[in-house]
Structure 1
Amino acid sequence: MVREKKRKKSQLPVRLNILFFIVFLLFSVLILQLGVVQILNGEEFQEEIDRTIQDTTKIPVPRGKIFDRNQNVVVDNEPVYSITYTPPKGTQADERLEVAESLAELISMDTGLLTERNKKEYWYLKHKEEAESRVSDEEAVDMSNAEYYNAVLEEITEEEISNFSKQEKEVIAIKKELDKAYSLTPQIVKNKDVTAEEYAKVAENLDKLPGINATTDWDREYPYGDTFQSLLGSITTQQQGIPAEDEEYYMTRGYSRNDRVGRSGLEEQYEDVLRGRKEQIQYTTDKSGRLIDTETVVEGQRGKDLVLTIDMEFQKEVDKILQEELLTAIQKHPTANRHMEDALAVVIDPQTGELLAVSGQSYDREDNEFVNTAHKTLYDSHVPGSVVKGATVLAGLDSGVISPGEYIHDSPIKIGTGAPKGSWSNNLGTLDDIGALRRSSNVYMFYIALRMGGEYRYPFPNGSGASFDLNAWQEIRNYFRQFGLGTETGVDYPYESTGLKGENTSRPGIFMDNAIGQYDTYTTMQLAQYVSTIANDGYRVRPHFAKEVREPIPSMEEVGPLYKSINTEVLNRIEMNDSYIDRVQEGFRQVFQSPGGTGYSYFADKSYQPAGKTGTAEYEFYEDGKQIYTENLSLVGYAPYDEPEVAFAVVVPKTGDTSNQHPINHMIGERILDTYFDLKEKRDEEAGE
């Protein structure tokens, strides 16, 4: 017994030692593991503990300004109070509703554009359990999340959304704007008619309005009112954002969906210049979303400034001339001129292509007011009449169907059983090419057309048929295209019409009409380029609205350093003998300065020595199934004759008929040139020259 006790007693320390050894090993492993964690992986784990999130947001900047050629501000940025919302990541609809409810206590909102869906979405958030109970689990099982949500909204009745208070409607309107916001991208909640009181209230409560900011924004301002505004164009609102159809184009160029962009006109054409560089701010937050730091990584800069070729003082005067002459013509013969409503004019430097004034005025008889429609000089085309005869004569000379100085007797031509076709007077006599322009002979142009079509007999035997080559259509149009007639002028604008080409027909009478400007149609801009090409010795230059691009500076009125100049661009040189162009220039000079010229009585005594061509085109259209006869009046010109510095084109459609006409084309052209040179003289005197 004693031995057994001793044996057991001796075995106990051994077991304890083994146990202690095992415990020692475990502690050793634990200490080793802690060492590994602390020494080898400590930095990595600490980084995880300290992990932060960095996001960059882009803040929109004002667009560049637009100036006229004399550096007068044409389009400016007007600062306005603005309430914006920049949602943190992961913001839910319930959270946006809370913000909307708080904000509605501080600002008013227009509720006129709320939709039924807006109201249902609000009701759903306020009665979520009740709304969702109306769609059974069996119905919902096969639905996507979007389908389920729409099904829930469908169950909300009209009665349930029909009695919202004014305050509730304002909450809905605010939430509607908050829902448009993208993460870390400022969304304007209200930026028009934000009062100073509203601005102050919001600014004082920003700590209670997560994501909301009281800041300043801008709107486009037009110091000259609607003068030239239809060509300046417009920009989208932030609510509209970038156009959906152009989303890919803009998004790949660094835009956000709610950015304002040029929607039309020069704002659209020069979007890349005017847009500016957004300010980029980097936000640092911890894992819980708490903002730790902000840093501006890219300084914002408003868009570059655009300097136009337009002279706004002159532009205003041209607008006024068109309005006054149009109203005079309408009041003089209100019945005969009942369809007259538009007057269009383009004034251009023929040597550089710089557009000095582009005007369109439309008279609204119901409201007894004028509407600025300058865009019609690019969009609308009309049969122009005899102003194109310069191109016809040049086509005849270059093709060899007439010789320089060749005489043709002006007497009516009768082809087959058709009515005789003659000039505006039966007493024009025998004329050469220059005289045909001076007196505006239709018959001379008819012979050019017939000969280009393959009929060379002279004098033309009245009453007989005429052979005709359809290839002549393409031949004469190719000549016209060299002047910009029937093709793009290349003007720096998002859209321009190229006019309308009539159907190629084997009827020689129609081809004869085209030779006197009474078949194909052209825009006023095309006619301005055409007469400029003649004035500029056959060089066709691209017309342009932009003169310079300038760097932005803080000054409210001055332009910054030059960034880029828009140089003269010659599109083509008329491919013919220079002497032919000289003859047409002389014909145009005689139109305005020689007795018998169709513009002589208006321009003969002018010291600035003008040249040009008059035009009248017969025009028929239908109204209420009834054929209406009217005329289009046109005029093109330039001055001075020997060193032209200004050219113009005028088109006035639907002027009635000759017996009831105010000479509106002549009056507009005369007053435009008088105003241009009077203004030039005044400025020279002021400059001490």
Structure 2
Amino acid sequence: MVKKKKRRAQLPFRLNILFFVVFLLFSGLIVRLGYVQIVYGEQYQEEIDRTIKDTTKIPVPRGRILDRNHNVVVGNKPLYAITYTPAKGTTAEDRLEVAKKLAPYIDMVPEEDELTLRNKKEYWYLSHEDEVKSRLTVKEIEELDNGEEYQTMLDRITEKEVSGFTKEEKEIINIKTELDKAYSLTPHIVKNEDVTPKEYARVAEHLDELPGINATTDWERTHPYDGTLRSIFGSITTREQGIPKERKDYYTSRGYSRNDRVGISGLEQEYESVLRGRKEQIQYTTNKDGVIVDSEVVVEGERGKDLVLTIDMELQKKVDQILQDEIKKALAEDPYGNRFMEDAYAVVMDPQTGELLAVSGQHYDKKKNEFSNRAYNTLHAAYRAGSTVKGATVLSGYESGVIEPGQRFFDAPIKIKGTPEKSSYQNESLGWVNDYTALQKSSNVYMFYIAMRLAGDFDYQRNEKLQIDSVDDSFQEFRNYFSQFGLGVPTGVDFPFESVGFEGVNSGGKLLDFAIGQYDTYTTMQLAQYVSTIANDGYRVRPRFLDSIRRPTPYQDELGPVYKSKNTDALNRITMDQNLIERVQEGFRQVFQEPGGTAYSYFADKEYTSAGKTGTAEAVYIERYDNGEIKKIHETSNLSLVGYAPYDNPEVAFAIVVPDTGGEYHLNDYIGERILDTYFNLKEKRSEENKEVTNEVIETE
């Protein structure tokens, strides 16, 4: 069998021609590239080297702050603004020329005291540079550095030479002074207060002759509710202040410019990273002369996110008014006994979630007959709380094993050797009391027995010394129990700063005072967390102002979708058994609901059932002269009240502190009564309104 030879595959002639043509084209391209590289390479490289890319960040409006019902409590007001963004290498002469060109289009004539002597001299120097330089000696020119030389020349300009400026010249000086504050490629506000539409339009029409100038918009913070909660909302720096100098590195490392406005107190500071927004970033290409030859938006700007708070501004305003009313009533009812009283504080919160519904601090200036808001003092100012802490004392007694449920003691004045006699009510005896009646009638003696036993003395003998194993250990054990309720420790509230109160010096006799709230000090916020922990079956939740963070929308009056929700944060559960917590809850109920309870006459006849504890603590008021020196120290009292409602399913808790009171006018009870009445009346009103809206919808359908 003869094998056939395979025929070799041959490329078509036309395909060979195509390959040859492609080869010639590539060869030509390579030759051309080589020619360009050799002949023009250096020229093109120089052109590249002559351009520089820089990125400018344009500030955006801050996010808004709203209450739980979506009422704006901190917003932004848009403003016309004239800005200046200097190119790199801009000189003082360049800025002066811009100022001269800008002056006819805007009104910035300064007041006489606005221009400093240095401002005037710097302007005169630029107009008489050769003359001023001639005043330097050859030796000075050789020995002085640039800064020293410049300062010497300014020093040699006389006041007479800068005293005859015209109104127009003064305006140019004022504008230039503002332009001098600008940083390279960073927009600086030249004027944003009272920029008229006419000024805005004139500048906008002449931008081509005003290098670096722009007619744009700015914003300023607004507070629709005036002073209400301003100390809680906080404040921001001005454009002139910029970022705080002491935290310059912190802010610049996070993308801030030196003239950015930042939160420096309150919630503005606490949620700065959320409220600040995302700056628009524009990349500028400049040539070797600093002239911008191209620009491109590389990051779209976005205003700050909005905060929705847990605060109910309608309730807040009513609580503010309640405190003001009761302070004035107290002063009118007992002007001598209450003569030093000038402050009252209240915190209203949801004990199950930690949502702060109202936080009020009212300071009364008797001379001016006006109130100012000091709500931040609910977190900053600490006072002896008196008998309100007795719930924690009783639970400490249970947990430490020094008393049992139903334990009875005979309430009669006690006497420790070397100390004054101590009693519940001005040397009166309450007779036999158990844990319930000790809370209901506010027995000091019952709490003294708990303290003595916790310290190791189970066999009290009248006029004998206490038999204490260790004073320091006893105090530490007591404070450890109290800290589980939030007393003497941070509450964890979302605020830049809070006080934890003051711990007194440990001593045996003072342990008894500690047990009745007459020694360590606590803030109103701590007391609110404490009573909420009892109301919430022993769960201590973090108080919070923030409900949610919302994404920004293009329209200021719209609320965007939820970015992040703030959930309930249970910090701990107290170590006491549930049945023991319920005994204290019952004792608190009897305080408000049973005859003989210290707050019975204020809360027993309400449609809602409430519970809580009253308190009165000894205090001192330091009267001072105008220069701050102490004039006299007066003995006063701090009135306090904590409570919650409804008793069987708590939805609202409160704490009230009124320092430096006197007399018999119990404004703490009146304040607490009115706060709960207001809360439930408001709840009923809103429920009726919702029913009406629902019925209208049904009828429409």
Q: CA–CA distance in 1 between the matches of 2:670 and 2:55?
A: 61
Contact 1:553 1:560 in 2 (8 A): yes
Distance 1:292 1:140, change over 3 A: closer
Report whether the alignment pairs 1:443 with 2:445. yes
Q: 1:477 Cα deviation (Å)?
A: 0.8
Question: Bigger CA drift: 87-96 or 42-51?
Answer: 42-51
Q: 1:668 Cα deviation (Å)?
A: 0.8
Q: CA–CA distance in 2 between the matches of 1:625 and 1:438?
A: 40
Distance 1:141 1:604, change over 3 A: same
What amino acid maps onto 1:255 in structure 2? Y
> Secondary structure in 2 aligned to 1:618?
strand
- The residue number in structure 1 matching 2:46 is 48
Question: Bigger CA drift: 622-631 or 211-220?
Answer: 622-631
Please list, as runs of the form range in 1=range in 2, the aligned pairs for 1:8-47 lying within 5 A after superposition: 38=36, 40-43=38-41, 45-46=43-44
- The residue number in structure 2 matching 1:83 is 82
What amino acid maps onto 1:107 in structure 2? I
Distance 1:662 1:108, change over 3 A: farther
Q: CA–CA distance in 2 between the matches of 1:326 and 1:35?
A: 89
Structure 2: runs of 5+ lacking an equivalent: 1-31, 624-629, 695-701
Q: 1:230 Cα deviation (Å)?
A: 1.2
Distance 1:464 1:165, change over 3 A: farther
Contact 2:340 2:621 in 1 (8 A): no
Contact 1:329 1:661 in 2 (8 A): no
> Secondary structure in 2 aligned to 1:622?
strand
Deviation string for 1:430-460 (max 9, x for gaps)? 1011111100111111111122222211xx3
Q: 1:169 Cα deviation (Å)?
A: 3.4
Report whether the alignment pairs 1:247 with 2:245. no
Report whether the alignment pairs 1:670 with 2:648. no
Contact 2:87 2:292 in 1 (8 A): no
Deviation string for 1:379-411 (max 9, x for gaps)? 111111111111111111111111211111111
- The residue number in structure 1 matching 2:656 is 650
> Secondary structure in 2 aligned to 1:687?
helix
Question: Bigger CA drift: 375-384 or 289-298?
Answer: 289-298
Report whether the alignment pairs 1:511 with 2:511. yes
> Secondary structure in 1 aligned to 2:660?
coil
Deviation string for 1:140-186 (max 9, x for gaps)? 43333223323333333444445544443333332222112111110
Scaled by the length of structure 1, the TM-score of the pair is 0.91
- The residue number in structure 1 matching 2:635 is 629
- The residue number in structure 2 matching 1:476 is 478
> Secondary structure in 1 aligned to 2:143?
coil
Q: 1:39 Cα deviation (Å)?
A: 5.6
Report whether the alignment pairs 1:589 with 2:589. yes
Q: CA–CA distance in 2 between the matches of 1:351 and 1:327?
A: 33
> Secondary structure in 2 aligned to 1:295?
strand
- The residue number in structure 1 matching 2:684 is 681
Question: Bigger CA drift: 39-48 or 90-99?
Answer: 39-48
- The residue number in structure 2 matching 1:120 is 121
Distance 1:297 1:473, change over 3 A: same
Q: 1:375 Cα deviation (Å)?
A: 0.6
Q: CA–CA distance in 2 between the matches of 1:439 and 1:94?
A: 82
Contact 1:71 1:558 in 2 (8 A): no
- The residue number in structure 2 matching 1:298 is 299
- The residue number in structure 1 matching 2:457 is 455
Q: CA–CA distance in 2 between the matches of 1:169 and 1:594?
A: 77
Contact 2:65 2:309 in 1 (8 A): yes
Contact 1:72 1:557 in 2 (8 A): no
Q: CA–CA distance in 2 between the matches of 1:135 and 1:287?
A: 33
> Secondary structure in 1 aligned to 2:329?
helix
What amino acid maps onto 1:440 in structure 2? S
- The residue number in structure 2 matching 1:154 is 155
What amino acid maps onto 2:638 in structure 1? N
> Secondary structure in 2 aligned to 1:654?
strand
Q: CA–CA distance in 2 between the matches of 1:158 and 1:632?
A: 61
> Secondary structure in 1 aligned to 2:304?
coil
> Secondary structure in 1 aligned to 2:52?
strand
What amino acid maps onto 2:636 in structure 1? T
What amino acid maps onto 1:606 in structure 2? K
Q: CA–CA distance in 2 between the matches of 1:379 and 1:227?
A: 18
Q: 1:554 Cα deviation (Å)?
A: 2.3
Q: CA–CA distance in 1 between the matches of 2:36 and 2:263?
A: 59
What amino acid maps onto 1:486 in structure 2? G
Contact 2:64 2:305 in 1 (8 A): yes
- The residue number in structure 2 matching 1:106 is 105
Distance 1:123 1:307, change over 3 A: same
Distance 1:422 1:170, change over 3 A: farther
> Secondary structure in 2 aligned to 1:141?
helix
Deviation string for 1:613-645 (max 9, x for gaps)? 001111123323422011111100001111111
What amino acid maps onto 2:494 in structure 1? D
What amino acid maps onto 2:53 in structure 1? Q
Deviation string for 1:239-270 (max 9, x for gaps)? 11111111111111111111111111101100
Q: CA–CA distance in 2 between the matches of 1:44 and 1:661?
A: 95
Q: CA–CA distance in 1 between the matches of 2:633 and 2:412?
A: 29
Deviation string for 1:302-325 (max 9, x for gaps)? 011111011111111111111111
- The residue number in structure 2 matching 1:620 is 620
Please list, as runs of the form range in 1=range in 2, the aligned pairs for 1:388-407 lying within 5 A after superposition: 388-407=389-408
Q: CA–CA distance in 2 between the matches of 1:168 and 1:330?
A: 59
Report whether the alignment pairs 1:93 with 2:92. yes
> Secondary structure in 1 aligned to 2:106?
coil
Q: CA–CA distance in 2 between the matches of 1:145 and 1:45?
A: 36
Distance 1:118 1:430, change over 3 A: farther
Question: Bigger CA drift: 601-610 or 426-435?
Answer: 426-435
Distance 1:336 1:166, change over 3 A: farther
Question: Bigger CA drift: 238-247 or 148-157?
Answer: 148-157
> Secondary structure in 2 aligned to 1:84?
strand
Deviation string for 1:111-145 (max 9, x for gaps)? 44443433333333233333334443323433332
Count of aligned residue pairs for this structure pair? 650
Q: CA–CA distance in 1 between the matches of 2:135 and 2:293?
A: 44
> Secondary structure in 1 aligned to 2:54?
strand
What amino acid maps onto 1:155 in structure 2? R
Q: 1:512 Cα deviation (Å)?
A: 1.1
Question: Bigger CA drift: 366-375 or 523-532?
Answer: 366-375
Report whether the alignment pairs 1:310 with 2:308. no
Distance 1:597 1:41, change over 3 A: farther
What amino acid maps onto 1:303 in structure 2? G
Structure 1: runs of 5+ lacking an equivalent: 1-33
Q: CA–CA distance in 1 between the matches of 2:453 and 2:135?
A: 84
Q: 1:103 Cα deviation (Å)?
A: 2.5
Q: CA–CA distance in 2 between the matches of 1:212 and 1:536?
A: 60
Contact 1:378 1:524 in 2 (8 A): yes
Distance 1:626 1:39, change over 3 A: closer
Q: 1:356 Cα deviation (Å)?
A: 0.7
What amino acid maps onto 1:59 in structure 2? I
Q: CA–CA distance in 2 between the matches of 1:462 and 1:49?
A: 100
Question: Bigger CA drift: 52-61 or 63-72?
Answer: 52-61
2:645 to 639, 645, 661: 639
Q: CA–CA distance in 1 between the matches of 2:261 and 2:684?
A: 42
Contact 1:384 1:617 in 2 (8 A): yes
What amino acid maps onto 1:384 in structure 2? A
What amino acid maps onto 2:80 in structure 1? Y
Q: CA–CA distance in 1 between the matches of 2:578 and 2:114?
A: 65
- The residue number in structure 1 matching 2:322 is 321
Scaled by the length of structure 2, the TM-score of the pair is 0.89
- The residue number in structure 2 matching 1:361 is 362
**Identity across the alignment (%):** 62
CA RMSD of aligned residues (A): 2.1
> Secondary structure in 2 aligned to 1:234?
coil
